């Protein structure tokens, strides 16, 4: 896959050095030249704590589109070997799907119980401002969108967003288990981490892409079982195939369910925040339900799972969005598997395939199962725990998505 192995550590160290030296602030909006003599102004976004701006900015010929996102999962007391690391510099390394000529970021204090103070932010060493100020305070439970920053963002590339937090109040809002190496620095040095802290979205100003695909799922979407720093999650593979026509953002949370809270807020409750409010979203992909089947307490009624999935589709339709959904893959051999739970999974798949849950269906189950033992994953795709896939398996899922089905248009709400 192109540029999958980014030089993340080198980028992060360069970004950190430049971030400490940089002090230039951008105020309000950015003005830059387009083709010919015409100029285009990127308007500053709405800064309310719940703000996202999916529409094109005023006086701009391009769109703000999501190129990357992560669903905030939990609030943690952030320590390392007993040392409080809240007062430090964080270098979140993220991987873009599409590029642009300017960027803006979203910072979240969703799980914090105190105001979050961040006194310096950069995107690939370029200073970021918030209503023209270098520092920002994000209220407990809130989020905030930055001013636009004039920085070239490449597609399918690592991007470093550096944050400096001067205070030691928490909890810290994180997305854990990212399968991507980021870095935390304090006076004792720099250490790697696989958590993203506070950063939940990167949008780009793009004049050629059509929109963004928002994918919501569980560990199978988040990439559990994939190789660190290779960006082998199936939504990454999908982004490669789209070739810059659409951005792809991944709102997968390992262990996430539709009907119950657990690992992260249940999908039905976070759907607006993590999917419908994504900048430029045109199509939604839903890959959920297996944790409702297999996690304790298990959901024994397949109709309830299908109805919850259909409800997500109806909510997306209310925004004029198309919804593509996936069947549930087999998992015999995993410690929670039983014949009764497998029967629930198979019935959910029957309801999905019947065509009254989503606008279009991706049959992950058919693609990933062993044809000689269809209650198990194909061994070539199994990461070893019989539930999650390896890089080959995720490549298969990403290649399976029908790109024509992702094209936004009139949702078939009359059928659902």
User: What is the structure's pLDDT at 2?
Assistant: 47
CA distance 247 to 211: 6
DSSP states of 188-222 as a string? Answer: TEEEEES-EESEEEEEEEESS--EEEEEEESHHHH
Residue 341 sits at φ, ψ, to 5 deg, of: -70, -35
Predicted confidence (pLDDT) per residue in 233-272, tens digit: 999 999 999 999 999 999 999 999 999 998 889 999 999 9
Peptide bond into 297 cis (omega under 30): yes
Per-residue confidence (pLDDT) for residue 313, from 0 to 100:
98
pLDDT at 61: 52
What is the DSSP code (8-state) at residue 230? S
Give the chain's residues under pLDDT 50: 1-3, 5-60, 412-416
DSSP 354: T
User: How is 239-279 classified by DSSP, letter by letter?
Assistant: HHHHTTSEEEEEEE-TT--SSS-BSBS-HHHHHIIIIITST
Q: H-helix or E-strand containing 162? A: strand 158-165
Can you tell me the distance from the alpha carbon of 65 to that of 81, in angstroms, rounded to the nearest whole number? 39
Question: What interhelical angle do 234-242 and 391-400 show, nearest 10?
Answer: 40
Provide the pLDDT for residue 40: 35
pLDDT of residue 87: 80
């Amino acid at each position: 896959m192109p540029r999958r192995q980014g030089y993340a550590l080198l980028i992060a160290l360069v970004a950190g050095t430049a971030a400490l030296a940089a002090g230039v602030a951008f105020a309000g909006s950015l003005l830059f030249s387009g083709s010919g003599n015409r100029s285009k102004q990127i308007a500053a976004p709405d800064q309310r704590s719940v703000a996202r701006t999916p529409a094109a900015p005023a006086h701009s010929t391009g769109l703000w589109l999501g190129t990357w996102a992560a669903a905030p999962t939990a609030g943690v007391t952030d320590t390392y070997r007993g040392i409080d690391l809240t007062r430090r510099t964080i270098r979140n390394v993220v991987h873009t799907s599409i590029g642009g000529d300017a960027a803006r970021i979203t910072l979240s204090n969703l799980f914090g119980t105190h105001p979050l103070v961040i006194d310096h932010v950069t995107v690939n060493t370029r200073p970021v401002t918030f209503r023209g100020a270098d520092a920002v305070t994000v209220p407990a439970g809130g989020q905030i969108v930055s001013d636009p920053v004039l920085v070239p963002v490449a597609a399918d590339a690592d991007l470093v967003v550096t944050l400096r937090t001067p205070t030691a109040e928490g909890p810290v809002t994180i997305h854990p288990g990212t399968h991507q190496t980021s870095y935390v620095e304090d006076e004792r040095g720099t250490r790697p981490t696989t958590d993203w802290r506070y950063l939940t979205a990167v949008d780009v100003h793009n004049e050629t892409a059509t929109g963004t695909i928002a994918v919501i799922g569980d560990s199978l979407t988040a990439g559990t079982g994939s190789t660190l720093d290779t960006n082998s999650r199936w939504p990454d593979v999908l982004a490669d195939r789209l070739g810059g026509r659409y951005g792809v953002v991944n709102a997968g949370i390992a262990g996430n369910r539709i009907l119950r809270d657990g690992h992260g807020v249940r999908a039905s409750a976070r759907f607006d925040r993590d999917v419908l409010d994504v900048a430029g979203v045109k199509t939604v992909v839903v890959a959920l339900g297996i944790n409702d089947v297999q996690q304790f307490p298990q959901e024994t009624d397949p109709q309830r799972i299908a109805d919850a999935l259909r409800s997500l589709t109806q909510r997306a339709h209310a925004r004029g969005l198309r919804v593509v959904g996936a069947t549930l893959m087999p998992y015999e051999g995993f410690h929670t598997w039983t014949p009764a739970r497998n029967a629930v999974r198979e019935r959910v798949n029957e309801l999905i395939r019947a065509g009254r849950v989503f606008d279009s269906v991706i049959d992950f189950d058919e693609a990933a199962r062993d044809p000689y033992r269809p209650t198990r994953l194909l061994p070539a795709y199994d990461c070893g725990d019989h539930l999650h896939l390896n890089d080959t398996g995720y490549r298969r899922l990403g290649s399976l998505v029908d790109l024509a089905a992702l094209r936004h248009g009139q949702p078939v709400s009359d059928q659902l």
